[in-house]
């Protein structure tokens, strides 16, 4: 008996992705760093490292350190700026043949608007991901993503100047993720990325100083997965926008948690550092899972865990 064909494609913000597995911003460079170790063409999509209006040197080292089932980073948005990005990085990205989602970060609403305008002129960009949530820069970054008015304002301003699909990437470092997600929707976002890193730190007890020169950094990796799944779950219930779920994904089982919690697609971040072709493995295993479970379209699993209700307790 030939295994039935599984339809892995998903629709997201007007895009059709061949499969729901992307690589997350900042963890896959500009698409070529892993060389031949990864068959990039198989990815559902690629989110670039954040691009800013002007070049940025980033934070001083040490910028990363390992923690239990996770890592901290405080890269500080090192990037060559949007002009160099367009002239030197986009040509290679274009050749990869997968949807390119450009992650943009600004210090002000005007920065985001200028970036969106500039990138709207550039061919072959599938969508913009507004990084409202970088915990590692002094100005801008997370400051937007923790305030619902600012979130709505920046998304709305960008919405006015571009026809590209807009994905708002939210910070988990908030009391009420649903409120922020609603603000992004009200501003006109077509989709949400959940979650960026958790603000965290580690101390080198021998040197009696923080492990990172930046003192704090963003926690990513398997450690944060349960927080991310919870946020996807909560937002799915309240906001009718497709979600790209991420945070600690290392396997198809992890990816399925996000999809069943309500994510339309997922992004693999930190795991790329450990296993460069992890996304390819996940795509294969997702297909196998669907085949074995008799699921014809992976899209049928989106939000699947919401249907059953919790057990009633005593009292």
Contact between residue 166 and residue 141 where contact means Cβ atoms under 8 Å apart? no
**DSSP code, position 169:** E
Q: Which of 3, 5, 33, 110 touches other proteins (CB under 8 A)?
A: 33
Q: Choose between 97 and 179: whose C-beta lies nearer to a copy of itself.
A: 179
DSSP 218-250: EEESGGGHHHHHHHHHHHHHH--S-EEEESS--
Quick check: 103 binds ligand FMN (CB under 6 A)? Answer: yes
Helix, strand, coil percentages, rounded to 5, for the chain: 35, 20, 45
* Contacting ligand FMN within 236-265 (CB under 6 A): 246-249
Q: From other proteins, a copy of itself, ligand FMN, none, which one binds at residue 24 (CB under 5 to 8 Å depending on kind)?
A: ligand FMN
Quick check: 185 binds other proteins (CB under 8 A)? Answer: no
**Residues binding a copy of itself (CB under 8 A):** 56-61, 67-70, 72, 76, 146, 173-175, 198-203, 205, 207-210, 213-216, 219, 221-227, 229-230, 233, 248, 253, 256-257, 260-261, 289, 301, 304-305, 307-308, 310-315
Residue linked to tokens 């970060």:
105
Contact between residue 52 and residue 104 where contact means Cβ atoms under 8 Å apart? yes
Quick check: 213 binds other proteins (CB under 8 A)? Answer: yes
Q: How far is the CB of 134 from a copy of itself (least distance, A)?
A: 15
Phi and psi torsions of 298, nearest 5°: -60, -30
Closest CA to 18 of 106, 110, 99: 99
Q: From other proteins, a copy of itself, ligand FMN, none, which one binds at residue 9 (CB under 5 to 8 Å depending on kind)?
A: none
Query: Which of helix, strand or coil describes residue 193?
Result: strand
Residues in contact with ligand FMN by the rule CB under 6 A: 24-27, 49-50, 73, 75, 77, 103, 131, 134, 169, 196-197, 220-221, 224, 246-249, 268-271
């Amino acid at each position: 008996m030939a295994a039935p064909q599984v339809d892995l494609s998903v629709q997201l913000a007007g895009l059709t992705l061949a499969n729901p597995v992307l690589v997350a911003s900042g963890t896959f460079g500009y698409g070529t760093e892993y060389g031949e170790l990864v068959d990039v063409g198989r990815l559902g999509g690629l989110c670039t490292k954040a691009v800013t209006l002007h070049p940025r040197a980033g934070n001083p080292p040490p910028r990363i350190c390992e923690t239990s089932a996770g890592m901290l980073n405080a890269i500080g948005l090192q990037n060559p700026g949007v002009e160099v990005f367009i002239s030197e990085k986009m040509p290679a990205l274009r050749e990869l043949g997968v949807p390119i989602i450009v992650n943009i970060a600004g210090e002000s609403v005007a920065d985001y608007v200028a970036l969106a305008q500039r990138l709207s002129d550039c061919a072959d960009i599938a969508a913009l991901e507004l990084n409202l949530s970088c915990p590692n820069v002094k100005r801008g970054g997370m400051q937007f993503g923790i305030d619902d008015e600012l979130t709505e304002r920046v998304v709305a301003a960008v919405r006015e100047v571009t026809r590209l699909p807009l994905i708002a990437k939210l910070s988990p470092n908030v009391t009420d993720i649903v409120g922020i997600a609603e603000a992004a929707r009200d501003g006109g976002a077509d989709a949400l990325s959940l979650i960026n890193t958790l603000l965290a730190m580690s101390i080198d007890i021998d040197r009696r100083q923080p492990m990172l020169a930046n003192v704090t950094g963003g926690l990513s990796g398997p450690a944060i997965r349960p927080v991310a799944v919870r946020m996807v779950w909560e937002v799915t219930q309240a906001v009718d926008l497709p979600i790209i779920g991420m945070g600690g994904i290392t396997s198809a089982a992890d990816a399925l948690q996000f999809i069943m919690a309500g994510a339309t697609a997922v992004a693999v971040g930190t795991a790329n550092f450990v296993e460069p072709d992890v996304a390819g493995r996940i795509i294969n295993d997702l297909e196998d899972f669907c085949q074995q479970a008799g699921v014809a379209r992976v899209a049928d699993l989106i939000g699947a865990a919401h249907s059953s209700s919790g057990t009633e307790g005593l009292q």
